[in-house]
A and B are shown apart, each in its own frame.
Chain A
């Protein structure tokens, strides 16, 4: 049968932003998966908490300074993140590079503080179930932190070595979106690790 052509798509753009691209949907799936994992881990926390009296069993909740410093800096990290996102939307190459470099440095600093957080938990993962779940939550979040930080660094390098086109800008935009997720996911975990033991104990 002969094909009857009714239209031409060659005029359509070959790149776009946000929900118009398949990548964005992939990222949303990824965030749902990871968000589901976090939610279940938080559920496991409460499940274990309901069995243990007192909580934490040692009565020593984690020390606050590292956690507070981390949370404050994480919230501040939204400044370079949003700045970068704006620069990408405007397709401004210089500003994008600047934003990515800033975000990379903040990310490295966050990881350094995270190291101290692990040392201020006042419990080991193999002490008891409380220790296990607290370590698990912090570990899970750290994996995401590292992943997105590595992605940011690699993207920053790309903007120096490679021509930046719409698709690259769009990648950077998706990276910013993922960072939002890393920030938002931290808040409940922060509450569970640092505050619930204080309020419950």
Chain B
């Protein structure tokens, strides 16, 4: 084929190409086809929906806690049940909602934003989803059977050790960690490879949308942070099941080892949740200001700075453990420096909006809510970074208030903004703006009513993790107000669910690019076809879709699955790469993995026997697609 370039694609040719690509890439509608799919959009959608279901479940637990605490000496929930409820709330929110849903947005959006046909290692992606789902189901079933975790989301030893948490509750918690971290690590590797190797020709690192940068930084953080918690929970479960002594001071172990390993993960964890949210905010701000982001290089540096600083700070969770003095001062100042990159970014967004023509649609409302709440959360964070104050407020409701300001303000608000922003792309229909405004204002007001009083409760001495409190301490009023705020949030989330349900059927049709955005996911139809793009888009500026010119490249096979690989820095076309077909092996391997993980809670040898089916699954999964030799010989 020696066509002269540039050339235009005729309507007939385009139609034939679409038909061929569709036949190659489509996921069938049969039951087994659905289970075998490796389409990043379908897996991503499942991931997002599952993550949201866990958000709602953990939210229900939050409401139960608030109802219990609304009045002193309430008999609604017993102490033991309350322990499980706050542990499940924190665990579900952190491990089953926040991190997975951020990665899920990446799974859906990154390949589209890169202009490629599928994510790197699509089968691993399918596997990671199943492992995540089975892990989440396991812990919730355990909870409903009254063997849920009971020692909080960070499960400190010795409380979580064999002596004080007998039975299987904490073992389920520790294996939940294994499930979720395996899946998080797999997704991180996929996203890194996709971003580095499968960007559209011309999308140099300097032209990469900030969302891609944020996902790249997050994924690298995951690679470094998650092994720590896996190691910590493996030590914990082996202390509990086979009598090792990692955390047992009587035999030379040390509970502080748990705290170090856990917070080496746990502090970056907050940034793993927060950095993708920053990417969403940047996408939304640029689109709704209709202006390129102010000071792009500074934004990239700030994202990277966030990622690096996040690893230096874990010790600030341990001020109350009596570490050496000099260490404390060091971590105090380091904790305060992290305010810098956050400040830079907030400044750049405001500058972008200032200089642009902002359109105050629902996504932008959530972003503004984020800025306000996050700044407040940051202020209390800087307060807590000072050791004397932390010692005073440690384990009070002040801390509960602080981290909800940071987590809900810093992650949940941008995430909802992201839902409103990308819903049209994912479903082809717009969400209602009016319901969106109600959703936002009720959430914003309800949030502050629920959580601001907790600062006061903390200052006047209410400890966290108490299932009830006596009357007459002056805590009643603030607790009642807080519960009211929680109920307002419930209404707001119900409005969101209603909005989604109705809009799925009756929302206005979105078209390819309803917001007039600049990034490549908006260059294809809404929802995108199974192969994402008929031709590979070529990028010549940072805001690809704001230029008049929309060049593309051709030449990937259409009769088999192929993606284009480009060079890491400059995104020069380099090779064509076969992309795996659908397969049931990832599901099989995930089931085998789950059987091994759960089996090992009851018997340590399950670790050995359980790995055999996994090996079988992996061999089936990786079995080469080149023809066997015998067949070749017979053919000649």
Contact = CB atoms under 8 A, between A and B. Distances in A.
Interface of A: 1-16, 19-22, 25-26, 29-30, 32-34, 36-37, 40-41, 44, 47-48, 51-52, 57, 125-133, 135-136, 150, 154, 158, 160-165, 167-168
A33 B80 CA distance: 37
B570 interface: no
Nearest to B556: A9
Nearest to A130: B252
B26 interface: no
Taking each of B190, B554, B557, B630, which has the highest tally of chain A beta carbons within 10 Å of its own beta carbon? Answer: B554
A15 B576 CA distance: 7
Contacts of B189: 25-26, 29-30, 33
Contacts of A2: 8-9
B6 A5 contact: yes
Interface string B243-269: 111101001111001001100100000
A14 B121 contact: no
Given A3-B535, A4-B551, A13 B576 contact: yes
Taking each of A15, A132, A165, which has the highest tally of chain B beta carbons within 10 Å of its own beta carbon? Answer: A132
B14 interface: yes
Interface of B: 1, 3, 5-9, 14, 120-121, 124, 185, 188-190, 192-194, 196-198, 201, 223-224, 226-228, 230-231, 235, 238-239, 242-246, 248, 251-254, 257, 260-261, 264, 534-536, 538, 549-557, 562, 564-565, 567-568, 573-578, 615, 619, 622, 624, 626-630, 632
A167 B578 contact: yes
27 contacts: A1-B550, A5-B552, A6-B552, A7-B554, A10-B554, A12-B564, A12-B575, A26-B120, A29-B189, A29-B193, A30-B189, A33-B185, A36-B223, A40-B228, A40-B261, A51-B252, A51-B254, A126-B245, A129-B244, A129-B251, A129-B253, A132-B238, A132-B246, A133-B246, A150-B615, A163-B629, A167-B578
A33 B222 CA distance: 9
A29 B246 contact: no
Taking each of B253, B630, B632, which has the highest tally of chain A beta carbons within 10 Å of its own beta carbon? Answer: B253
B573 A37 contact: no
A168 to B, nearest CB: 6
Contacts of B223: 29, 32-33, 36
Contact of A32 (B224, B260, B564, B630): B224
A51 B257 CA distance: 11
Nearest to B225: A36
A14 B238 contact: no
A47 B193 contact: no
Give the dominant DSSP class at B's interface. mixed
A37 B334 CA distance: 25
The 8 A-B pairs at the shortest CB distance, nearest first, are namely: A10-B555, A129-B252, A126-B243, A132-B244, A9-B555, A29-B189, A129-B253, A37-B227
B8 A9 contact: no
A115 to B, nearest CB: 14
B257 A6 contact: no
Given A13-B576, A36-B224, A51-B252, A129 B245 contact: yes
Contact of B553 (A7, A16, A37, A154): A7
A122 B228 CA distance: 28
Given A7-B5, A26-B189, A44 B565 contact: no
Nearest to A16: B575
Contacts of B3: 5, 8
Given A29-B188, A36-B227, A162-B628, A48 B576 contact: no
A196 to B, nearest CB: 15
B246 A5 contact: no
B252 A128 contact: yes
B8 A3 contact: yes
A47 B254 contact: yes
Nearest to B567: A20
Given A26-B193, A129-B244, A132-B238, 8 more contacts: A10-B555, A14-B576, A25-B189, A29-B189, A36-B223, A161-B628, A162-B626, A165-B626
Contacts of A160: 629
B554 A9 contact: yes
Given A9-B536, A37-B230, A4 B549 contact: yes
B245 A22 contact: no
A90 B145 CA distance: 59
Contacts of A129: 244-246, 248, 251-254
Contacts of A162: 624, 626-629
A25 B536 CA distance: 22
B38 to A, nearest CB: 14
Contact of B555 (A11, A47, A128, A133): A11
Contacts of A11: 555
B97 to A, nearest CB: 23
Contacts of B574: 12, 16, 20
A147 B556 CA distance: 35
Contacts of A22: 120-121, 193-194, 197-198, 565, 577
Given A21-B577, A26-B121, A163-B626, A8 B254 contact: no
Nearest to A125: B244
Given A6-B5, A33-B185, A154-B619, A14 B575 contact: yes
B19 to A, nearest CB: 16
A19 B575 CA distance: 12
A25 B555 contact: no
Nearest to A57: B252
Contacts of A7: 5, 201, 538, 553-555, 573
B453 to A, nearest CB: 40
A48 B254 contact: yes
A122 to B, nearest CB: 16
Contact of A161 (B190, B243, B575, B629): B629
B399 to A, nearest CB: 26
Contacts of A5: 3, 5-9, 535, 551-554
B67 to A, nearest CB: 41
Contacts of A57: 252
A150 B619 CA distance: 10
A91 B567 CA distance: 23
A8 B553 CA distance: 6
A133 B260 CA distance: 16
A133 B193 CA distance: 34
Contacts of B248: 129
Contacts of A12: 555, 564, 573-576
Contacts of A3: 8-9, 14, 534-535, 550, 552
Nearest to A53: B252
Contact of B246 (A48, A158, A161): A48
B575 to A, nearest CB: 5
Contacts of A40: 227-228, 231, 261, 264
Nearest to B243: A126
B565 A4 contact: no
Contacts of A150: 615
A44 B576 CA distance: 44
Taking each of A19, A25, A164, which has the highest tally of chain B beta carbons within 10 Å of its own beta carbon? Answer: A25
Taking each of A21, A164, A165, which has the highest tally of chain B beta carbons within 10 Å of its own beta carbon? Answer: A21
A176 B550 CA distance: 43
Nearest to B198: A22
Contacts of B630: 161
A10 B535 CA distance: 12
A57 B1 CA distance: 75
A59 to B, nearest CB: 14
